[in-house]
A and B are shown apart, each in its own frame.
Chain A
């Protein structure tokens, strides 16, 4: 089970790029790295997932170095609506047919004008 460590909170101004780094020293060879976003009183929402190098979608970019011991979620030009908690997950707890997700405390991002 990959243990992840990420900052508890971050602040940013609107329009800035935000980079949230997560460390996952004991990530398993087969595990993906996945980031979720959660707004207050809502369910977590999948943002992006990667295995190695860089992945980009319409929401964010994910940078994963060759050793895979860390990853960085990059949010370009954040807006007030990006204020949320961001979770880094390094693979789920696996049974024969299930992948229970192990959420940590996440990074609480506050975007201000």
Chain B
């Protein structure tokens, strides 16, 4: 069964450093998403991406964040200057272009900012 994959599984970084989180969505899916989940809290939407552009973003997704689909398979989330409060699990998801809103999530990247 096709899956969304994410790398790395765990990233440790110093405050102020840039990080890039990588995702490979399911191959025939057209919509891509990033969510995050701070420890003990709910899953929060960050951004959705379709047709090589951002289609929607939340108030969390400020200028420090960017997304890119550099080739036909990868989808990346960049945080330019990490803060302590960016420590969270980051989940990538993808969706087929259909009438339902079923999204398929990856296993996540645990980001720890020291």
- Is residue A105 within 8 Å, beta carbon to beta carbon, of the partner chain? yes
Bound: A92/B93 CA distance, A? 14
- Binary interface encoding of chain B residues 75-109 relative to chain A, with 1 for a CB under 8 A from any of its CBs, else 0: 00000000000000101010100001111111110
Contact B91 A99 (CB under 8 A): no
B interface residues, how many (CB within 8 angstroms): 29
Contact B58 A100 (CB under 8 A): yes
- Is residue A81 within 8 Å, beta carbon to beta carbon, of the partner chain? no
Main secondary structure of the interface of B (DSSP, over half): strand
Q: In the assembled complex, which residues on chain B have CB atoms less than 8 Å from the CB atom of A42? A: 107-108
- Is residue A102 within 8 Å, beta carbon to beta carbon, of the partner chain? yes
Q: In the assembled complex, which residues on chain B have CB atoms less than 8 Å from the CB atom of A103? A: 35, 42-44
Whether A43 touches B107, Cβ cut-off 8 Å, given contacts A95-B48, A95-B56, A98-B31, is: yes
Nearest-CB residue, chain B, relative to A89: B101
Give the distance to chain A from B106, nearest Cβ to Cβ, in Å.
Answer: 5
Q: Which bracket fits the contact residues of A?
A: 20 to 34
Bound: A99/B98 CA distance, A? 11
- Binary interface encoding of chain A residues 24-44 relative to chain B, with 1 for a CB under 8 A from any of its CBs, else 0: 000000001010001001111
Contact B43 A93 (CB under 8 A): no
Contact B110 A49 (CB under 8 A): no
- Binary interface encoding of chain A residues 67-102 relative to chain B, with 1 for a CB under 8 A from any of its CBs, else 0: 000000000000000000001010111111111111
Contact B91 A44 (CB under 8 A): yes
Given contacts A32-B100, A38-B43, A99-B31, 9 further A-B contacts (CB under 8 A): A43-B108, A44-B91, A93-B56, A97-B50, A98-B56, A99-B95, A99-B103, A103-B44, A104-B42
